[in-house]
């Protein structure tokens, strides 16, 4: 079995674990808060953390887990404060996009389930919510949904294709129609950062920032502590569809510029593929190396020259388990969509 096939199996295990845990959680008579915390701890720490790590170690003997999930890569230190800015912009963009996504679902007849959500009855509840809804997903979801998935797509040449796949997979993995659109968008943004920098650490910051701002916003709203200026700004933005669209456009443009700068500071001059066929031929003749996002050399060997290591190509069958995981997550998402239409 190839490494690609084995990683596909690990991802399928995590997706299946999420589905099983959702069923168990829905059948467990616990309070909303307690049920959510237990589900998050088990799902994040075990099915997206410990189990994938152990399965990787057991099946890929000569692999480096933390290198494969893009944790060890050295990147420009400016990337980290810039990730905070991108996290803020991602939150603003997702707030606007979520409004349009929710309106779209409602207009086609989708009925939302009126859940109680988190009840912030004490400071301890806020702390636990930050840990389970912000910190754990930012670490463990990035390891599997970004790190392992990108490692699994190593043989896909197009960065654009990989970014789209990573985004759609992240949206599908939430297995909930109302969350699919916003999480897929966030997945594209964070996936772009991981693929362009070769590290998931900045994406962890963005992921945490987005979830943290949502949690704090809910807390302040529930406690009636939202600053007046923020309330006035929200009323202005959500005045009508045009104001929401304008705010979304401004945040989106700022986000695009921030992502462009992020890519620039993490791109080495030699970190490129041949620009054209002539350059590729020259590299092939002289065996000139380029470097990938992890700083590893990619050799363009001479024709019929086996002295230089060539990257092995994954077969289509190696992705079977990944496709099963993706289809399975999409099927549950589709079920929640049609169930919402029938309610």
| CA gap 209, 88 in Å, rounded | 7
| Residue in 343, 341, 292, 330 with CA at minimum distance from that of residue 105 | 341
Give the distance from CA 338 to its chain's centroid: 25
Counted domains in the chain: 1
What pLDDT is recorded for position 50?
96
* pLDDT-wise least confident of 38-42, 176-180, 229-233: 229-233
In a domain, 276, yes or no: no
| pLDDT band (50, 70, 90) for residue 277 | low
In a domain, 284, yes or no: no
* pLDDT of 28 higher than 90: no
In a domain, 298, yes or no: no
In a domain, 300, yes or no: no
* pLDDT of 131 higher than 60: yes
- Which of the two residues, 38 and 141, has the higher pLDDT score? 141
In a domain, 273, yes or no: no
What pLDDT is recorded for position 269?
54
| Residue in 151, 196, 147, 154 with CA at minimum distance from that of residue 170 | 147
Contact 326, 169 (CB under 8 A): yes
Calculate ∠ Cα 195-83-224, nearest 5°. 130
In a domain, 215, yes or no: yes
* pLDDT of 287 higher than 70: no
* pLDDT of 32 higher than 80: no
- Residue written as token pair 């989708």: 110
Average pLDDT estimate for 106-112: 93
| Cα end-to-end distance, the chain, whole Å | 45
| CA gap 277, 242 in Å, rounded | 47
- φ and ψ at 299, to 5 degrees? -95, 135
Average pLDDT estimate for 254-267: 95
What pLDDT is recorded for position 280?
60
- φ and ψ at 290, to 5 degrees? -110, -175
pLDDT in tens, 171-211: 999 999 999 999 999 999 999 999 999 999 999 999 999 99
Distance of CA 45 to CAs 132, 137, 210, Å? 10, 9, 20
| CA gap 235, 319 in Å, rounded | 47
In a domain, 289, yes or no: no
What pLDDT is recorded for position 230?
87
Q: Which two tokens stand for residue 330?
A: 């999409």
- Classify residue 122 by its DSSP letter: S
| pLDDT band (50, 70, 90) for residue 93 | very high
In a domain, 303, yes or no: no
Alpha helix (H) residue ranges in the chain:
3-27, 32-40, 51-59, 65-68, 79-107, 123-130, 136, 149-152, 159-173, 177-197, 201-223, 228-237, 241-265, 277-286, 320-342
What pLDDT is recorded for position 271?
46
- φ and ψ at 297, to 5 degrees? -70, 140
What pLDDT is recorded for position 304?
39
Distance of CA 180 to CAs 185, 186, 217, 219, 334, Å? 9, 10, 21, 23, 10
Other residues' Cβ atoms within 10 Å of the Cβ of residue 38: 16
By residue range, what is the domain housing residue 45? Answer: 3-267+313-342
């Amino acid at each position: 079995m190839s490494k690609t096939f084995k990683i596909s199996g690990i991802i399928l295990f995590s997706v299946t674990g999420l589905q099983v845990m959702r069923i168990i959680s829905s059948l467990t008579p616990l309070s909303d808060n307690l049920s959510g915390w237990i589900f998050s701890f088990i799902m994040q720490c075990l099915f997206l953390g410990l189990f994938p790590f152990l399965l990787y170690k057991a099946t890929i003997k000569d692999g480096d887990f933390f290198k494969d999930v893009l944790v060890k890569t050295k990147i420009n230190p400016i990337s980290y404060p810039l990730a905070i800015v991108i996290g803020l912009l991602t939150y603003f963009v997702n707030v606007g996009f979520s409004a349009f996504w929710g309106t779209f679902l409602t207009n086609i007849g989708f009925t939302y389930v009126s859940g109680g959500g988190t009840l912030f009855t004490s400071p301890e509840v806020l702390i636990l919510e930050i840990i389970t809804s912000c910190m754990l997903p930012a670490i463990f979801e990035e390891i599997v949904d970004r790190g392992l998935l990108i490692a699994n797509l190593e043989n896909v040449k197009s960065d654009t294709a990989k970014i789209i796949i990573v985004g759609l997979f992240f949206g599908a993995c939430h297995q909930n129609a109302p969350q699919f659109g916003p999480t897929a968008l966030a997945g594209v943004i964070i996936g772009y950062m991981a693929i362009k920098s070769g590290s998931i650490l900045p994406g962890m910051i963005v992921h945490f920032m987005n979830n943290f701002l949502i949690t704090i916003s809910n807390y302040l709203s529930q406690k009636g502590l939202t600053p007046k200026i923020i309330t006035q700004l929200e009323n202005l933005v959500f005045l009508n569809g045009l104001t929401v669209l304008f705010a979304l456009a401004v945040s989106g443009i700022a986000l695009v510029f921030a992502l462009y700068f992020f890519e620039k500071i993490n791109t080495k001059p030699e970190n490129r593929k041949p620009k054209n066929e002539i350059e590729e031929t020259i590299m092939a003749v002289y065996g000139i190396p380029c470097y990938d996002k992890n700083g590893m050399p990619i050799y363009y060997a001479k024709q019929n020259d086996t002295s230089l290591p060539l990257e092995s190509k994954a077969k289509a069958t190696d992705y079977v388990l990944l496709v099963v995981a993706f289809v399975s997550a999409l099927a549950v998402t589709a079920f929640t969509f049609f169930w919402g239409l029938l309610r």
